[in-house]
Structure formats: C-alpha cells, structure tokens
Structure 1
Amino acid sequence: MSVSRRNQQDCLKALPVCFSGQKINNRANGPHKRREVKMIRKLLASSIAAVTTLGAMPVVAQSTAGIEAIEEIEVISRSRRSEGLADLNAAVSVIGAEELSRVAQMHYQQALNRLPGVNIHRNNGQESLAAIRSPVFTGAGACGAFLIAENGIPVRSHGFCNVNEMFDTHSESADRIEVVRGPGSAFWGSNAVHGLINVVLPEPGEASSLRLEKGPRGTYRGNARLGSENGNFKQMFLINGVNEKGYQEESGFDQQKLSWLYSYDAGGGTEIDGGLTLINLNQETAGYIVGTDVYKDGDLRKRNPNPEAYRDSKNHRVWTTISHQNENWEFAFTPYWREVNMNFIQHFLPGQPVEDFQHTTLGFQGAGYRTLDNGAVLAIGMDLEDTSAQLLQYQPNLTQGSFFLRNSIPQGRHYDFEVEARQLAAFINYEQSFASGWELSLGLRLENVDYDYDNLMIDGRTNEFGVPCRFGCRYNRPSDRADSFTNLSPKLGLSYTLSNYANLQLRVQRGFRAPQATELYRLQNAQTVADLESVELDSYEIAVTGAGLNWDYSVSLYRMNKDNGIITNSSRENLNGSNTQHQGLEVSYGHTLTDTLSIRGVANFGKHTYENSIISGGVDIKSNDIDTSPNLFGNLRLIWQPLAGTTLELEWANMGEYYTNPENTAEYEGHDLLNLRGQYRFSEDVTVSLNVLNLTNELYAERADWTTFTGDRYFPGQEARAFLSVQWDFL
C-alpha cells in the first residue's frame, strides 16, 4: 500500500540500509584467483536478454525502490519500539516479507547475504559461521561478536552463545529480518559487537495459509500460518517443518518450529502482546572434506568423513510485553523465559568428545520513552537476566591417533560444571533535531555481568578419577571461582540533510562483550586460571544516503578498532592477545527501471587485519589479513514483475578470494553463483514457486578452511538444484 509523501526535506532523509522488497541413526553412547570477468559476462548477457525480451510487457508492477518503498518500512532493532527506517541515524538493513517469501530460504544464509556487510558461511546442515563487518570468526567465543534475537529478545544468554544460534530463530516464518551493522545502540549490550540480527515475527491476526515444498534428494518442507481475531484479542500460529536429505553421504536433518503469537488491547492506553517459540533440530552432520581443491571433484565432494557426527538442539522461549502510554510517557516491560538444550559430537576434535549443554534464563527488559518540551526524545531503561547453565563434555571411546594423543586425551568425562550468571544493565538515549538541519543522538549503557562457577569434578589436569596422563592431560578444570565484568558503552550520532537527495550521517560507538563461560572455565594444558578482560570495539562511521521517486542508495565508510580480542595461543591458553582493525566500504543501490523491471544490489569492500605482533606458524602475522575475510563480495538481483502475482528474479552472488590461515599462505579462490526464482499466482488462493539455485552448476565451497593437521579442508557447496512449492491461502 502506498504511503503519502512527506515534506521532501523529511522523506529524503536517507538511511544506511539495503532495503529488500522485501532422525538420528549415528549416536555416541553415553550421557586469490577470481573468475569475475566470466560471471560478469554471464550476468550482462542474461540482463540484456531479459530487458530486450521483456521491455514491451504490460505495466503493472509496483515500485520496489525509492522514497515510498522506504517510508513503509518499520524497524524495532534500534530502540526496541517501532520506528520508521527513513528517520533513523543507524546502520540498519532490512529484508522484508515479500522478498523472504521469494527467497524461501532453506538456510538463513540465502536471505541474509543479500544485505550489506553480511557474509554468512554455511557449514553442514543448519550450521553456519557469521560475519558482519568482520571476518568469519571461529573458536569458543566467536559467537560473542554478534547478538541474535527474535522479536528483540536474545535467543541465548549473553555468556552462553553458540555460532549456530541463528537456527534457534523462526526465520522461515519471519515478517522481516533486521540487521544492525557495527555495534548495537545503547539498548543492546554484551555480544552486539560487530552486529545484531533480529528476526521479527508477524503481527497476530487473521491468517490461513499452507505452503508445501519439494526439493532435491527427497527433501520436503511444510509451512503454515493460522490466525484469528476476536474483539480486542488477536492470535496467530506459525508452523514450519522440514526433512532434508543431505548432499554429503549419511547426512541430513529434521527440524520443527512452532510459534504462537497474541495481542490484547486492554484499553486505557495499555496493550499486552507476546507469545512462545518452540524449536527442535535433529541433524546428521557431515564433516569437512580434506585435500587441496577437493571440492572440485564431483565424487569426493559428496563424501562424509564423519558419518558418526550429529547435533540435537532444542530452544524454547516465552515472553509477554506490557505497553502503556499516558500523557507524558510510553512504557514497555517485557519479562521472558528461555530454555536451551544442545547435544552434539565434537567430531573436529581428537577423541570426538560429546558436549551436552543446557541453560535456563529468566529475563526482563524495561524501557520508558518521553518527548520533551523542546521536541527531543528521551529513553531510559534497564535489562536483567538470571541464567543457570550446565556443561558436560565426555568421551565415550578411547582416543585414536598418535601415541601422544592417546596418552594426553583420556576417555570419560573431561568437564562437568555449572555456572550461575547474572546480567544487569541500565541505559539512556537522547535524540534532538535542530533548526539548522542537524540531528543529534546520544546514548550510554552501563552493564555488569557476573559468573559464579562450580566445578563438579576433581580440579586440575587429570582424568575424571584424578589420575594424571602420561604427557599431561589436555583438559584442565579450574577450581570454583567467581568473575565479574563491568563495561560502559557510549554512542554518538549526527546527521545533516545535504540536499533533497543526500543525507550525511556520522556515528561513533563502542561495542563490547564479556568473556564467554567456555573461555573462562573450559581450560586446556597448564592453564588453571583464565584472567580475561572484556573485548572492546570502537567504531567510526560516515554514511551518505539518499532516495528519489524510484531509486535509493547508501554508501557507508567504517573503521573499527578492536582490543583485548580473546585468542587461544600455541600452548592452548585463553588470553587477551589480539588487537585487530576492521575497515570497509558498503554500497547499496535499488532502482525501479520500468514499471515491470527493477534492480537491487550491494557491494562490500573490506580489509580486516591483525594489528599487534602474534606468532602463528612460526611467523609474525602483524598486518596480515585475518583469515576468512574476503576483500570483496556482493550480490545483484534483477527482478521482473510482468503481471500481478508473477515475479521472476535472477540473482548473482559473488564471493571474493580470501586467505584461510593467519599466515596468509593458503587461500580460497572465491566463486560466483547464479540463482533463478519464480512465482506465479494461479488464482487468488494458489501460488506456485520454482527456485533453481546454482543455475550454472558451479563446483564451489560454502566454506574453505586450513589447519596444521589437515591442510586445506572444505564444506562443499551443492550443485544445481530446484525447489518447487505450492501455497494455498484459504481464508
């Protein structure tokens, strides 16, 4: 639906955004060379052919770029309440419901990588590693660089994240996905260092749809949406289930997701809304394939070196938000409860131990908003979480491998501990517009995180019975202890309207994260205490954004300096030993070329380097590129809408080359993919979709890596494949 245009000085305030239209059989027993020119030629040929063929088609499509399209977008990821995206001085990107429906993601990477600054690497099954204005991080605390939330509530507790936690969101049924690039605002704390991903579910109300999908190798998926309204009460059920037979041998997953949402207008300025989300994943995991360029071998790329690997995960959340508005203030209070359980084989470690982890959280978010007499907007609030967590790592079988490994990694329990964690934060945010055309945004957050650790085994570097290993046991259990971390996070933003078509934005922010519990208490070799400090990142950004009637753009230049990065050195000690620099340029552009044809794309240029002396592989890696940080990647989509209910999209996804080790001696050459997606509405009730991924049958790697022990290793990307779906809207 079109929105009436505001005064041009206001509605052309641009935004740093890329707007997008929108069973387990194997179980352990017990608890640099690119091919861009070639692909550019392919894309140009396809685009020219499309424009030539379709130029005379009927004029029916609505604009997917420009002022009106942007003004329709509302986001909650900056201040936890609905705001117009065009009014924000924040690096926020949005992929909306229409585009999410077209993408019909089997993995969230397929949607998120359309946004500027975002680079999700798919591992196997539903697993992934993320990057937002960063390299792809790995290791125990890698997940702490990003905060993952659903409806504004983190899906895991601050000290107990997991690199795969995007699969704990109901993203398949989302109304939109919002991404904050760089440190989060004062409303977000620990873990929102490099960015924030917030999955926003639909508003409850009338709905009745069913979507069935068939994919390759016996893959099936069903998705349903059922909602009703009864006076002041509205509700909606979201249901998603998928069974995927994996591309690699003896792999695949079953996943089920259920959300119930409700809202109630209690009158007198009070509204109550909330819901629950239940998620279950059972996955047969395939491991890396090993060998230089082995992903190019049509047979070897389908093998699974680790058929015994699996991952089972459950995530349950319940929340309620009580909102009240009076003459002076608007308040929002959200209590919530969360439970997480995950069990999986660490097939990438010698001895292949099993990790069994769970945590339960009671949390509260509270905020008050007031418009002051001078027109400024003041927000104050607090966050509180109390978490009880347990982690057990045990090895059912004897260690295989060298004589040293067999005598340093014992069978049995390695770790068994509990952690009580508390997070308490207060924040304030102030925003004001001036007659000179400048707008000011100030924010400040003070946060404290406490851990109380209880070791349930014998302290020290022994097996579970207290017997030392011949060469010293790898795993070391610290004594009971308590740790506390306090951080202050300031934010400053300025914006100025340069012209009707350009808006200048300046931002200076600090992000932080407290150490993860596993970095503090899951120690190795001779380390008995991990004396760690919080990781801090200072971000400086300048952006120019703008929009016209049928086009919009944003250009963002950023530089971020990160101190106290937590690393594991050659002695397997967890230390604050890494200072890094992250700088880049993000360009996004959308243009409605004709009434039936539009184009949208993003280009990301980045440089991520080590800034202090660190010896790795016998060399000093200072000034080296951080591994898995391509200098160039991006996405371009050509969208044709010849008739109401008919859409055809051609997507070009580019991944530049990147180094796969800190020494910068091993690399992946990058890849280019073409994807074709089509939708056709047969009637008011029935829509058929056909998505063909990797149209040119490229042999590529979803993720490339290198280790001293294996050399080059990869998660292979799948060859050409098609997904056919039918959606029935029966209301």
Structure 2
Amino acid sequence: MPAKLPVSLYYAIAIALLPGSAAVAQQQSTDENIERIVTTGSRIAQESPEHGLAISQIDNQTLNLVSPMHIEEVLKFVAGAGVQRGNGQEYLPALRSQVFTGAGACGGLLTAEDDIPLRAAGFCNINELFEAHTEMAQRIEVLKGPGSALYGSNAIHGVVNVITPDVTRDAGLLGVDYGSYGYSRYKLRHGEDFGKSGIGINASITRDSGYRENESVHQEKVNVRHRYEFSDVTLTSGLTYTNLDQDTAGYIEGFESYKNETLAQQNGDPEAFRKNRALRIWSKAQWSLDNGDSLLITPYYRDQSMDFLMHFLPGQPLEKNSQEGIGVQSLYQHAFNNQWQLEAGLDAEYTEGTLSQFQDGPTQGSAFLQATIPEGFHYDYDVDATMIAPFAALTWQRDAWRITAAARFESMQYDYTNHLPAGRTRADGTECGMGGCRYARPPSSSDDYTNFSPKLRISYQINDALSLYGNIARGYRAPQATELYRLQREQQVADLDSETVTSIEAGLKGQVAGTRFTLAAYTMDKDNFIFRDSDFFTVSDGETRHQGVEMELMHQFNQQWDIAVAASYANHTYEYDQVLNGVNINGNDIDTAPDTLVNTRLGWQVTDAARLQMEWHHVAAYYTDPENLNEYEGHDLLHLRGSWALSNTLTVFARVNNVTDERYAERADFSSFSGPRYFPGRPRNYMVSVQYQY
C-alpha cells in the first residue's frame, strides 16, 4: 500500500486554498455567523459545537437533496467515516478506524437517536443504525474521537447521533420517492402547535425489491413527539418505533466477481432473512433555574427484538435476540462566574437481554462439520446488565482561551444465566464426535467492569474567524455479551478486559475568504483489542494504532457555484504479535482500512428555484485480510442530483446514482474457506421524488 499522499487528497487540500471574491467572502461570513444548532457533545441544544470538539453535521437541506435509501449515502460526507453497505439495510461502520467486523466490534462506535443510545452498552448490533429514522431526520451529528467522558462505553471511536425533527411546531410534509429496482418510499410529517404545547408525527414506509435475486426490504418507521411548557420547565416526550422485514442476499464469491453483471445479481442464500422491531420511549424535562443554572433529566425505555437467519454459518442456525430495559440520563449546568462553569450528571441503565441460536436440521457438508455442528439449540441464555456512571466537566474560559477537564466513572455488571448444559456438548448434554461440538457455553456467572475516562480539551480563538484546539482523551468499551458468552471450541470462559484507547488530536477550524473548514490530525493507541485468535478463543490482548489527518470544507466560489469536500488520509495498523498462515501481522495494515477516502460535491445554483450537484466519491485500495496478502482495488463513483422548487410548497428532486455505471464492491472481504467475496454495488440507478410542505 502506498505511504505517500495520493493525488486525490492533494486535489482535495488544494480546494481549501482557492480564493473567493471579497463580496462572496463577506456574504459567506454573514451566513456563517448564523450558527448551527447541535446537541451532540452537550445533550442541551446550543448554537455551535463546544470548542475543541470535532463534530460534523449533515443538515436537513443535504438530507432532502440526497434522500438517502441507506445512511451510508450521507455518512460519507463526514471525513474519517468509511461505512460499507451490505445488503438491504445492513452495513459495517468505520469512524477513524478500520471497518468494524466481529461479534462485538459494534462496540467501537456509539449510535443514538435524539441523544438516546439505540442499544444498551453491552448489547450492540453492527447494523443498529437501521433502527434510527434517518429517512426523515432533521440532521445527523457525528462526534469524532473518544466520547466516553460523556457517553460512556462504546463511544470509543465516536458517536453518530440522528436528530429527528421537532414536529410539535406546525410541521407539515407529504413526500414520495420512486426509484430503480422497485424502490418506493412514502413520507408524512404533521404537527400541531398550541402555544405552550404541541404534538406531531413523523413517519415513513419503504419498499425495495432490490437489484439482486430474492432480496427485498419492507420497512416502517414512526416518531411521535409531544411538548408541554411550564413556567420554568419544558417537558418533551418522544416515541420511536421501527419495523424491518428483509430478505437478504449474501456475499458473491470469486476474485472480482462483482465485475460480472450476472454473478453480481445472484443470491446464493435466497432463504436468508432479518426481522427487527425496536421501540424507544423517552421524556426530557429541562429546568431553567432562577440563578441561571439548568437541569436536564431524561428517563427512557427500550424494547427491541430480532430474528436473523445466520446464512453465512454451516447449518444456517436461527438467532433470536431481544433486550428490554430502562435508563435515565441527567445533566446539571452551573456557572460559578464568567470564567468557571460546571457540568455534572449521573447516568444509569438496567437491561434484560436474551439470545438463542437454534439449528432446524442436520448440517450439510464435510464429515467434520456434520459431527461438530449438531441440530437443535447451540446457545440459550439471559443477561441482565446494570450500568451506573457519574460524570463531570469543569470549564475555565478567559479572553481567547477555553480549557475543559472532564471525566466519567462507569460501573457495568453482567448477570449471565445459561439455560443449556455448560461446555461444548449438544443441547441434551451428549458429546459431539471429532473432538467436541463447535459451540461452547460458559457456566452461569457474573462479570463486573469498571472504567474511568478522563478528557482534557484546550481551544484558542486566534481571531473572529479562526480557532485552534487540542484534545487528550481516554475512551473505553466494556466487552459485549456476545463476546463473553458465545464461545467456541475448547474455550470455557472468556477472561476479557475492557478495550481502551488513548487519543491525541489537534485541529484548526474557521473560515477564510469564503471557505469554512476544519483541519484535524490525530493519533489513537488501542489496548486490550478484543478478537478471536487462531484457536478460536475470544481474547483481549491485541493492540492497534490509528493515525490520520482529516479535512472538511465548504467553499463558495460565487453566487452560483460552491463545493464541499470531506477527505481523510489514515493508517490503521496491528501492533501486536499474532501469526496467521505463517505471517506475523504485527505492523500490518488492519484489513478493510483504506488509507484514503475523499468525497467532493460540486454544486450549481442554476436559478433561485433550481440546483444541481455532482458528487465524486473515492475509496482507495485496501487489504481484505490481516496477512495483507489479498487486496481490493478501490473505486471511484459519480452521482448527479438536482432539485426544482415549483412553488414555495412543492419541490421535485431527481437523482442518478453511479452515473458511469461503475462495477464496484460496496464491501470486499476474504474468507479462508471461500476466498475473495463481495457485496456488489448497484449499477446506474435513478430516483425521482416529490415533496409537498404545508
């Protein structure tokens, strides 16, 4: 893999240096003085991101123009994010990291809707963002780097927070999307404002028959919100319900098979499916106290369940998992004087989770597979998890300087109950042949984890337009329940430590000559990296390093033309000894970690009512195995989209994705059993939308 900066990144950086006319610069400066509202990083809506926090935002105008069928289509507008789409609504995430894979790798990134984590800390799912209402979001906020000081476990690489609209203030929208391969989506937003109170609904229905054989997505999502304002407190309550019924297409196999149109459409797993239901209810009470302090308390309830055919495993077992729990978030803000401010709170959560894995018939394949993978139950267990976490942040501000010291202490306890015989036997306790069954069940137990996450951030306001910042932080994630209790082969107990990461970041952000930009450099060292070793033991003695530079910018050439760029160059490497197939991977690139990601969007405001945008997305080559012996060549995609406001209330959108009809892989992987395998990308496809606002 090349070590020098590629031409594509030089191009992106050069855009930042383009001058704008004085008139445009003055207009841009005026526009940028209207700050963006964010909640990520503080929990309380404020007019701009906290100084020293790397927060990116995908706004409502961008979401309307793209009308994403999948959240991957807009997360690539964030420098350092490298989400890879699977089939249907599935995906694998990355944020200042390699693409996460494995049972508990989802714990590397916290996902939330309206500041409430989508899953409890020990029960994440790698695809969990399909439970957020991205299709009808007001905006998406992405916090990059460790966010554990506020968010706790799982915010080790960052936070993706989907913000739904406040529909309690006379909202009204009807919309319909029609696209290639049987795609349709219907959207409704309606709200009533009664002054001191309001109520509203935000809903969407999606149908997608898919590009590949025997694949489809049926999805329904709804948000309901209510607001009531007292003299000194605002009470906002919300409900989100999502339902996904998906027929899934798996990998296609064979070197560069994604380039073959016939192979790309095939589905070797027509029986595969995923059914997921998720309910979240929350109520946020915010007090404005007489002394200027504020208090925020948010109790919430979650209920989630999923049925999932594990089509990629021998025997194709059915997994059923669920979680139900309650929790509370709190935040108290107090200003001692003009220089010193305190934020403190206590978060708590209790969750009851279950998981079973059941195989309906005998395993097909070799004699070894038939002997070691029996039909019947493989796992059947409950886990009750309790989390308690106090946190505090003290800020000193004077003149151009702002310094914040923050810390969180978190206690996590798992109470695990195994309902099957312990060990690697069949469900009835009998032994498997050829050395024992593949799946191993630890005996019932309790496991406790405590973690401390400090963070220091410093910012200096150079002038009205530029600021410097620096962060030193420690992030963590407790092991997930599936890593602790879903074992294989001879492993009877997983003695795992919490993953931790130490991050150092420096950046410059502001606006110059019509260009709003953020430049950042970071280095992150991760200890106790959890992985499955060559003996199929789940262990936590790995180490990795993540280093990179990022740039996000928006430049206005003149009244008609503008450009947005998100670019990153990073190295993600293994830093521990492990020999795989005769290769010590120490120093190797982590698999599925392209060093360069560039997204550029060139916009043309044709008239006051019409806009066109061309997007170029570049993914560099990356290795598909830890040994760095197999590689995907990368790809470049072009997309074209436009909008035309027929009136103040009616707008038509049109999009052409993959304009050049590129044959590419959304995800490339390598398996020692099947060799190269891919999720093929869709060829050129179209979407037309009509949106009526009232």
Place the TM-score, normalised by the shorter chain, in its bin: over 0.9
Residue of structure 2 equivalent to 1:170: 133
Choose the corresponding residue for 2:461, options 497, 517, 528: 497
Counterpart CA distance in 1 for 2:53 and 2:371 is 54
- Show the counterpart of 1:385: 349
Cα shift at 1:68: 3.0
The residue aligned with 1:514 is: 478
| Residues 143-292 of structure 1: pairs in structure 2 closer than 5 A | 143-184=106-147, 186-203=149-166, 204-267=168-231, 269-292=232-255
Query: Which residue does 1:348 correspond to in 2?
Result: 312
Structure 2 residue matching 1:217: 3-state secondary structure: coil
> Residue by residue, what CA displacement relative to the aligned partner does 1:69-106 show, whole Å, maximum 9, x if unpaired?
36420111101111232552101100111111111000
Residue range with higher mean Cα deviation, 634-643 or 561-570: 634-643
8 Å contact 1:291–1:712 — kept in the other structure? Answer: yes
1:67 and 1:550 in contact (8 A); partners too:
no
Asked whether the 8 Å contact 1:367–1:382 carries over to 2, the reply is: yes
Residue 45 of structure 2 corresponds to which residue in structure 1? 82
**1:137 and 2:100 are equivalent in the alignment:** yes
- Tell me which of 125, 132, 135 is aligned to 2:88: 125
Alignment match of 1:450 (pick from 387, 390, 413)? 413
What is aligned with 1:320?
283
Deviation at residue 37 of structure 1 after TM alignment: 10
The letter for the 1-side match of 2:127 is N
Residues 24-103 of structure 1: pairs in structure 2 closer than 5 A:
66=29, 68-69=31-32, 71-85=34-48, 87-103=50-66
Aligned length: 682
Q: Match for 1:658 among 614, 622, 641?
A: 622
Following superposition, the deviation at residue 645 of structure 1 comes to: 2.9
Amino acid at match of 1:232: K
Residue 434 to residue 39, structure 1, CA distance change in 2 (3 Å): closer
The separation in 1 between residues aligned to 2:412 and 2:526, in whole angstroms, is 20
Change (3 A) 1:87 1:578: closer
Structure 1 residue 698, shift from structure 2 partner: 0.3
Shift of 1:422: 0.4
d(CA) in 2 for partners of 1:64 and 1:140? 50
Partner of 2:424: 461
Quote the residue 1:14 is aligned against.
none
Contact 2:148–2:474 (CA<8 Å) still a contact in 1?
no
Q: Deviations over 1:115-154 (max 9, x none)?
A: 1111110000000000000000100111000000000000
Give me the TM-score of the superposition, normalised by structure 2: 0.95
**How far off is 1:62 after superposition?**
12
Q: 1:499 to 1:40 in 2, by over 3 A?
A: closer
**Residues 1:362 and 1:670: Cα distance change in structure 2 (over 3 Å):** same
What percent identity do the matched residue pairs reach?
40
Aligned pair in 2 of structure 1 residues 37, 441: CA closer, same or farther (>3 Å)? closer
The within-5 A match list for 1:708-719 is 708-719=672-683
Q: Does the residue aligned with 1:85 lie in a helix, a strand or coil?
A: coil
1:71 and 1:186, CA in 2 relative to 1: closer, same or farther beyond 3 A? farther
1:38–1:721 CA distance, 2 compared to 1 (3 A): farther
**Secondary structure, aligned partner of 2:88:** coil
**Aligned-partner Cα distance in 1 for 2:190–2:340:** 41
Between the aligned partners of 1:324 and 1:585, the Cα distance in structure 2 is 40
- The 5 A counterparts of 1:267-666 are 267=231, 269-328=232-291, 329-435=293-399, 437-471=400-434, 472-548=436-512, 550-666=514-630
Does the C-alpha gap of structure 1 residues 635 and 66 become closer, same or farther in structure 2, counting only changes over 3 Å?
A: farther
Q: Would you say the 8 A contact 1:370–1:377 is kept in 2?
A: yes
Q: Cα deviation per residue 1:381-404 (whole Å; 9 max; x = unaligned)?
A: 010100001101001121111111
- Of 283-292 and 319-328, the range deviating more from structure 2: 319-328
Q: For 2:646 and 2:55, how far apart are their aligned partners in 1?
A: 36
Partner-residue secondary structure (3-state), 1:556 = strand
Q: Within the alignment, does 1:113 sit opposite 2:113 as a pair?
A: no
Q: In the aligned structure 1, how far is the partner of 2:522 from the partner of 2:576?
A: 20
Residue identity in the other structure for 2:529: G
Segments of structure 2 that go 5 or more residues without pairing to the other structure are none
Counterpart CA distance in 2 for 1:332 and 1:702 is 41
Cα 1:378–1:422 change in 2 (3 A) is same
- What amino acid sits opposite 2:326 in the alignment? L
Q: Give the partner amino acid of 2:164.
A: L
Contact preservation (8 Å) 1:610, 1:624: yes
SS in 2 for 1:300: helix
Partner Cα distance (1:240, 1:344) in 2: 23
Q: Which amino acid aligns with 1:299?
A: T
Is this contact kept in 2: 1:634–1:654, CA < 8 A? yes
The one-character-per-residue Cα deviations of 1:314-354 (angstroms, maximum 9, x if unpaired) are 01000001111112320011110000101111111111111
CA contact (8 A) 1:63 1:69 kept: no
The one-letter amino acid of 1:303's match is Q
Give me the whole-angstrom Cα distance separating, in 1, the residues matched to 2:9 and 2:298.
Answer: 49
User: In 2, are the aligned partners of 1:178 and 1:198 still within 8 Å (CA)?
Assistant: yes
- The root-mean-square deviation of aligned C-alpha atoms, in Å, is 2.2
How far 1:551 moved relative to its partner? 1.6
Q: CA deviation at 1:444?
A: 0.5
Give the TM-score, by structure 1 length.
0.91
1:289-322 deviation line (CA, Å, top 9, x unaligned): 0000000111111101111110000010000011
**SS of 1:186 mapped into structure 2:** helix
Rounded Cα–Cα distance in structure 2 between residues aligned with 1:62 and 1:221:
39
Opposite residue 558 of structure 1, the aligned amino acid is Y
What is the CA–CA distance in structure 2 between the aligned matches of 1:65 and 1:616, rounded to whole Å?
54
Between the aligned partners of 1:88 and 1:38, the Cα distance in structure 2 is: 32
- Letter of the aligned partner of 2:300 in structure 1? Y
**Which ranges of structure 1 fall in alignment gaps of 5 or more residues?**
1-31, 48-54
Distance 1:62 1:353 in 2: 60
Deviates further, 492-501 or 314-323: 492-501
CA pair 624-257 structure 1, distance change in 2 beyond 3 A: same
- Give me the whole-angstrom Cα distance separating, in 2, the residues matched to 1:617 and 1:248: 34
- Residue 500 of structure 1 deviates from its aligned partner by 4.5
Query: How many Å apart are 1:557 and its aligned residue?
Result: 0.4
Shift of 1:506: 0.7
Equivalent-residue separation in structure 1 for 2:10 and 2:529 (angstroms): 42
